[in-house]
Amino acid sequence: MKKSLLSIAFVAFLYLFSSAQLPVSTVAENKNVVLEEFTGIYCQYCPDGHKKAQQLADDNPNDVVLVNIHVGGYADPGTSGDPDFRTSFGTLIKDQAQISGYPSGTVSRHVFPGLESNPGGTAMSRSNWTSAAGTIMGQSSYVNIAADASIDYTTRVLTVNVEAYYTANGPASNNITVALLQNNVEGPQSGASTWNPGQILPNGNYNHNHILRHFLTGQWGDVTTATTSGTTYTSTFTYTIPADLNGVVYEIFDLDVVVYIAEGQQEIITGNKAALTYVLPPGMSLTDLAASSNMTMPANYCDPNVTPEITVTNNSTAVVDTFEVDYVLDNGTPVTLTGGSLAAATSVTIAFPAIVLTDASHKIIYHVNVDNNAAVIDNVSENDETIPVFINTISAAAFATSHSEGFESYATLSDNINNAILINNDDENTFVLNSSSVSATQNLGGYGNSAQSWRMRFRSWAVGSEASLLFQNIDLSGSIGNGLRISYAYAQDNGTEKDKFEINVSKDCGATWTNVFREGGANLATAAPVPGNWFYPAVTEWDSANIDLGAFDGESTVMIEFKGTSDGGNNLYFDDIQISNTVDLSNPYVYSGINESEKTLFEAVELFPNPASNFAFVKLEMKESADVKVEVRNMLGQVVKVVSNGVLSAGSHSLSINTVDFGEGLYFVSVYTDEGYITKKLVVTR
């Protein structure tokens, strides 16, 4: 969740109402959960553990403490140059938990018979964390614990004051642990795009949270023997935060302090997050500069002229005298400008010099920072970088009067096709595939007649993700009776998915499109569903379509797009593309009716404004009355808002979507009817 810390007084105010504070409560309470998660940057399924742990904390605010412990072989960077998130404490905790695989986790270091990975151990697989946590949170605690903490910005001294109050008699002794955690740590992470794409940063790195960095109380905590009912434990711990640990920088504004109390080295009774404030030098203030961009996009794919533009918003109460902005094009060298004074609660838009893009799919990311302003600290780093802006450009000149593509001249896994660009803003798995790089033994070209084809691996894509292979203009001005032939193979995963494959044609460089092929779900399938494994088509599991392009005869610039949209099904392959006036059109492709609701129920479906800030609107022009459900999903496929669910009459309807509580990023707005569904992308920005 985005922080907005506006001044030192406001920092204290915010945390007093969001975290544990002193004095500790003297009223008997139930236990809070401490979930220790064992993870590593090379662990394929660990991102799913991160997601499940965060969901548990989100569903139980102030009742769950998360501690991410990087440990074991999956956390060892070896000689790769990747960051080392391990500590000197992790191995002993791991060994005590008796884990048998990654990710694993302990729920308050309690043994749950039947759920443990190894008999008598506290470690459990991620599928058991939620039920185990529910058991712990339903139990009464004989002690409450709370803490507050402060960090001196100049000296980097962390001071933590801890109090524990016994509402009932405890054992002869307890161990109090103070842990220092760090959030928003960039690094690699295997499996992120499949299991937790929401944590992938605009630059492609993974955003690691709740990482254990240090125990102020030592490995197993500070021991107290004053454990009788009515007793209060108090203690103060200090720690000078170093510049880094294992080369990983300590960013003091991304730190958390948590405290928990246990019976010996095991059986954590309860835990809490400390209120955290900062002590700043005289004359220095905190600020929050946020970057966004509403740059003007080219009118079509053939316009390479772009003027990069960033908007900077000062979300604080302090004036910022100077700041820097930059943009990075395609991971290249930053282009930097300096901004002048920016008053509190105001915004300014800065234009960079115009540029001319090459024919390719481009990505621009904008940044803002206050590195040159010694009197101001931007302590909110999450919004210093914009979501990527994607711009796709392709030559306006026609490259041929006919074309064929069989994908045989490229190395396997290549996504760079002659006379085409790949539009893959969601960075999903799609490229040329040969059986030599996978477990298939048969040729993967159309009908097994060749070695290679193009694959869209829908099974690993996020629901709603899409990608297009877009070919440069073809000149059909001198021919008639033109057509397109294509071979394709697809299987669903469990038989319910509605992945889509579309072919669109434009004669104005992509300003407008005509759909000439659209199939999805069971209508697209050329083979039976393949649950739990990857689909590799047999020779008999291909189909083909002959598509009439006669409507484009005589046109000198004809651009063709091959587009896939995932609904979580299995692999889609296509091959043997032929565009010419020799394609057999005696049995042309006829649209089968997938998503027929687009034609019969709606005159129009519009989503605006897009990008949206606080509100967006779905406008439906209904031809007739029907049951309509409108949902908004995030990139994980989770429903974040139900906009409408009921009967809508014939006519015009405008449905509002309140996006104030949405984080910045990409969402999917789906309109469902009994006859099908329509999904549109929505970008939320601030």
pLDDT given at position 597: 37
pLDDT given at position 603: 65
Query: What does the block give as tokens for 405?
Result: 């593509």
Residues with Cβ within 8 Å of 241's Cβ and at least 6 positions away in sequence, in order, are 151, 156, 157, 158, 180, 250, 252, 255
For the stretch 299-346, pLDDT in tens is: 999 999 999 999 999 998 888 988 999 999 998 999 999 998 999 999
pLDDT given at position 592: 54
Q: Which residue has the higher pLDDT, 674 or 294?
A: 294
Do the Cβ atoms of 246 and 85 come closer than 8 Å? yes
pLDDT given at position 93: 96
Q: Given CATH 2.60.40.10, say whether it is the number of domain 285-390.
A: yes
Task: Return mean pLDDT, the chain.
Answer: 90
For the stretch 567-622, pLDDT in tens is: 989 999 999 999 999 999 988 887 654 443 344 566 677 888 888 888 899 988 88
Is residue 677's pLDDT more than 70?
no
Q: What is the CATH number of domain 403-594?
A: 2.60.120.200
| CA 298/CA 233 separation, integer angstroms | 65
Least confident of 83-92, 177-186, 457-466, 548-557: 457-466
For the stretch 484-516, pLDDT in tens is: 999 999 999 999 999 999 999 999 999 989 888
Least confident of 150-159, 601-610, 674-683: 674-683
Phi first, then psi: what are they for 150, rounded to 5°? -140, 150
Residues forming CATH 2.60.40.1930 domain(s) in the chain: 598-684
Closest by Cα among 666, 668, 199, 2 to 390: 666
- The DSSP letter of residue 572 is E
**CATH class (in words) of the domain with range 598-684:** mainly beta
Q: Which residue has the higher pLDDT, 525 or 10?
A: 525
Is residue 8's pLDDT more than 60?
no
Side chain identity, residue 192: A
Place of tokens 């010419």: 580
| CA 458/CA 446 separation, integer angstroms | 19
Q: Which residue has the higher pLDDT, 650 or 97?
A: 97
Least confident of 194-198, 270-274, 560-564, 656-660: 194-198
Least confident of 29-38, 122-131, 363-372, 485-494: 363-372
Query: Could you give the C-alpha distances from 423 to 63, 284, 328, 389, 552, in angstroms and in order?
Result: 43, 46, 19, 12, 23
Least confident of 433-442, 529-538, 672-681: 672-681
Residues forming CATH 2.60.40.10 domain(s) in the chain: 8-279, 285-390
Q: What is the CATH number of domain 8-279?
A: 2.60.40.10
Do the Cβ atoms of 598 and 468 come closer than 8 Å? no
Residues forming CATH 2.60.120.200 domain(s) in the chain: 403-594
What residues form DSSP beta bridges with 421?
Answer: 470
